[in-house]
Each structure stands twice: as C-alpha cells, then as structure tokens.
Amino acid sequence: MTTETGTASAGKPTGAGSALGRLARTPEVGVVLACVLLFAGLAIDKPAFAGAVNLQNMGADLAQYGVIAIGESLVILTGGIDLSVGALLGLSVVLAAWFNVKAGMPAPLAIVCTLALTGLVGWLHGLAVTKLAMPPFVTTLVTYTVAQGAALAITSGIPVVGISGVFGDLSQTFVAQIPLPAVLFAVIAVAAWFFLERTYAGRQVYAVGGNREAARLAGIRGDRRVIAMYVTSSLLAGFGGVLVAGRMGVGSPTVGVGWELSAIAAAVIGGVSLVGGQGRILGIVAGAVLLELINDGMIALAVNADYTNIVLGVVLGLAILADRLRARRLSRRG
C-alpha cells in the first residue's frame, strides 16, 4: 500500500508544479511576457520611459485604442469583423463637438446623442449581417467610407473649437495619479471579462462564433448575440471618440484613421481567432498594451514615425500567421 501510494504521489505534480504547468498552458502568457520584457528593456535603455509622466500618457493612449480593441474583439468572437471602428471613432469626435458647439447642447446631452447614433450604426451592422446575410467585411467597409466622408463634410475639414470643459474633465482627470480614461478602460475590460466568462449570454457568444449552425440547433438565438456585439463595438467606438475629443479639446475630422488596424491587431495578438469562437479579454488587453509599448517605444527611441505603420503591419501579419498555425494545430487534434 505504501509503495502504491508513493508511486501515485510521485506521478502527481506538486502544487507549485501544477500551477506553473497551468500558467505555461495559458494562451495569453506569451503576450504578457512580451509586454514585461519589452517594458523592462525600454525602461533600462531609456529610464524616462518608466517615469510617471510617460506612464500616465501611455495610460491615456491605451484607453483610446483599448476600448475599440475590446469592441472589435467582441465582433470577431462571433465570426465577424468591424472595419468601421476607427472611422466611427473619428466621426464621434466631430459629432460630440458639433452637438456641443454648433447645436448648443450641454456636454452630457451631446455625449448621449453621439453614443445613440453610434449605437444605431452598430444595430444596422448587425441587421445587415444577420437578416440580409451581408458579409461583415463589406458592411463595415461601407460605414468606414461613409463615416470618414461625413466627418469631413460636417466640419468642411476645419476642426470644431470651443467645446465644453466637461469633455476635458472626462479625459484629463486623474484618479490616484492614474488617468481617468485608463480607469474607465479597466472597468470596461472587467465588465467584458465578466460578461464573456461568467454569464450564459457570454458563453453563447463563443458558441455562435465557434459553430453558428450548432448553436442554432442548440436553441441559441445567434442573431441576437451577433447584433448585440456589433452594437457594443460601435458604442465603444463612440465612447473612444468622446475621450479623444476631451483630450484634444477640438473636434478634428482627421482622427481615427487606421485605428481599426490597431484594434484588430490587438485582438489577434491577444489570441482572438479570426474565425471566431476563441479568445479572452486578458489576451486582448495584453495585445493592446503590447501595441502601445511598441508605439511609445519607437517614439522614445526616436525612430522615424514613417516606420510605425510598417512595424504595425509586420506585427499584425505575424499575429495572423500565429492564429492560422494555432487553428491548424487544433484542427489536427480533432
């Protein structure tokens, strides 16, 4: 009996070994480790990189990119894609400023109207994808083009100035030395995590993205889940626009160009599968942090800004390659 017990105990990993094994198998561990190593390397080379002022600026930047990355990821989890988040964020900057300055609305009402319009756009996206079976790529590409044109048409290319200080209070306030936008981003991330991993509706989102037909046969109303995720993505893009408007102090029509690529890159780098049904909020946040470290690190190292998009494209390409290899490996395992 002693021998059997001893053999069995020897075959079981210790508590520490088991914890390390689980950590090593966590899909997001690679991205988190990359963030830690990159930050440490930049901080050693450029001590000011780890200074309070730079960290606060990075936190504010991260909030802007991070909120649309979370929204984008929710759509991708359903098996779709939203190419409009960057342009919609830019349009939201203009709308919030225009409602406040030109239409004379109080800042809170201007924000509500801006979010209502962006939510409506997301609802139309969801209807087009689910009821009309339009490809998500084409549907959101149309919005991408229209939103960019609308931002320029509303302003005639001239930024809207004189917006209320309420926008600045929202974007430039600090909570215990932490930028309020970063705190709001953390709250949104936690809410998204709770929804996806602790609610029945969140598990349905994964089911719909993993196998739409199987989810339908299981009695899951996939259309509702898809529409809800598109609405959420557009709302978060609108909220990101409000944060940007407050930080800039003007309603500029040129903001948000190319930000959809950063959102998609953050999602894919964080382990969200482009075919849907796989990915977690921890990885998405880590992906957004990694991109922010890369962007800010290039500035700290005085790298020519013209190379930023090249680096982003390479990182995105590597992330997509890793996603395809991961999908092939899972397919071989059956």
pLDDT at 227: 97
DSSP 305: G
Tell me how crowded residue 228 is: count the other CB atoms within 10 A of its CB: 18
Q: What is the spatial distance between Cα 67 and Cα 188, in angstroms, rounded to a whole number? A: 7
pLDDT at 16: 55
pLDDT at 318: 79
Torsion from C-alpha of 195, 234, 260, 130, nearest 10 degrees: 80
Query: Do residues 103 and 165 touch, judged by C-beta distance below 8 A?
Result: no
> Structure tokens of 314?
């390479």
Distances (CA, A) of 244 to 87, 131, 231: 13, 33, 20
pLDDT at 257: 85
Angle at the Cα of 244 from the Cα atoms of 156 and 241, rounded to 5 degrees: 70
Computed on alpha carbons and rounded to an integer, the radius of gyration of the chain in Å comes to 22
> Structure tokens of 147?
């939103």
> Structure tokens of 164?
């209320």
Which amino acid is present at 133?
A
Query: Do residues 279 and 267 touch, judged by C-beta distance below 8 A?
Result: yes
| Largest CA-CA distance found in the chain, in angstroms, rounded | 85
> Structure tokens of 276?
């849907």
Q: What is the spatial distance between Cα 264 and Cα 81, in angstroms, rounded to a whole number? A: 9
> Structure tokens of 251?
């309603």
pLDDT at 275: 87
pLDDT at 18: 61
In the Cβ-directed half-sphere of 37, how many Cα atoms lie within 13 Å?
A: 6
pLDDT at 131: 94
Q: Is 12 exposed, middle or buried (0-12, 13-18, 19+ CB in 10 A)?
A: exposed
Q: What is the spatial distance between Cα 75 and Cα 205, in angstroms, rounded to a whole number? A: 9
Q: Which domains, ranges and CATH numbers included, belong to the chain?
A: 56-332 (1.10.3470)
Which amino acid is present at 264?
I
Phi first, then psi, for residue 178 (nearest 5°) are: -105, 130
Q: What b/e readout covers 262-284, taking b as 16+ CB neighbours within 10 angstroms?
A: bbbbbbbbbbbbbebbbbbbbbb
Q: In the chain, which residues have pLDDT < 50?
A: 1-11
pLDDT at 22: 59
Helix and strand counts by DSSP (H, E) for the chain:
15, 2
Q: Which of 269, 322, 297 is nearest to 72 (CA)?
A: 269
Phi first, then psi, for residue 297 (nearest 5°) are: -65, -40
**Residue reference for tokens 């259309």:** 223
Query: Do residues 113 and 105 touch, judged by C-beta distance below 8 A?
Result: yes
Q: What is the spatial distance between Cα 240 and Cα 318, in angstroms, rounded to a whole number? A: 27
Those residues with Cβ within 8 angstroms of residue 74's Cβ, 6 or more apart along the chain or in another chain: 192, 205, 229, 232, 233
